[in-house]
Amino acid sequence: MVRAQSAICADTGNYGLFITLAVAEGKGMAVRRAAAKLPALTRAVADKLGEPALVSALGIGAAAWEAVVGGPKPRGLLPFEPLADGSRVAPATPADLFLHIHSPRHDANLVLAREFLRSLDGGATVIEEVMGFKHLGGRDLTGFVDGTENPEGDERPEVALVAEGDAFAGGSFVSLQRYVHDMALWDRLPVAEQEKTVGRTKEDDEELDDEVKPPTAHIARVVIEEDGEELEVLRHSLPYGLTRECGLYFVAYCASPGPFRRMLKRMVVRDQDGHYDHLLDFTRAVTGASFFTPSENFLEGLA
């Protein structure tokens, strides 16, 4: 039976650790050996610490696939395509690997991350490490509930994982963006205007009626229907930071890279009526990268 990497379909823990890395020249085999051991390493650290909810996933980027894996890439695994329209930018930033760890315990995340980084044996260097956390029961730092429409239960693997029968079954395409919020500007906005910007009520997390919700509201831009079906991604986003810089670390897993790209384009690029996501007037993406997270079986087969 194909097993997905453990972080993908699990409920997001109270704490998350997001690490992007660059593969060192000529060190693809060192990374390959470490990647093959990650599932077993995760289970071993979880057992040692008595934290069964400690989970991980490792994504591999298009540029590093040949060096680390070899063989054909998953169809759709491409470098992150940047977008820009006026002041709104979704940049592409360098990253060959993405290590995603989450659990109810910050210390458990750190122990696993350190063990994995040690196992790389110099095969990759850290580009960025961000520690995320659950805030007020699942709210973004803007005060609004984040991920209200995230799939639950059996829907999670249906949305996130490549289906059985494919050569890369059990894997998932993952895209990340780190957003920096302008909290001073946001906090000056009256709550009623904040709600129109998001498209939901702040206190009760109720979607605004269509006659009240503007076409520039965040959820009006990212909720997309095709052939009567709503496009979905599985989010594992968490707030990060404190006073100097803070925002949301956005992570989206999906069986195909298409839904995320459609959502992002509708956020950033004005449509024929001039509409874009007005939430981007208060937050900006500073990173962007795409990866494929193979199944645990696939990783273990790299040994």
Q: Which residues are catalytic?
A: 146
The token pair that represents 42 in the structure block: 């995760």
The token pair that represents 172 in the structure block: 């998932």
- Rg over CA atoms, the chain: 19
DSSP 81: -
Geometric angle at alpha carbon 253, from 48 and 298, rounded to 5°: 60
Contacts of 116 by beta carbon, 8 Å cutoff, 6+ apart = 34, 38, 41, 56, 99
What distances in angstroms separate CA 127 from CA 98, 99, 269, one per listed residue? 10, 11, 28
Cβ–Cβ contacts within 10 Å for residue 124, how many? Answer: 25
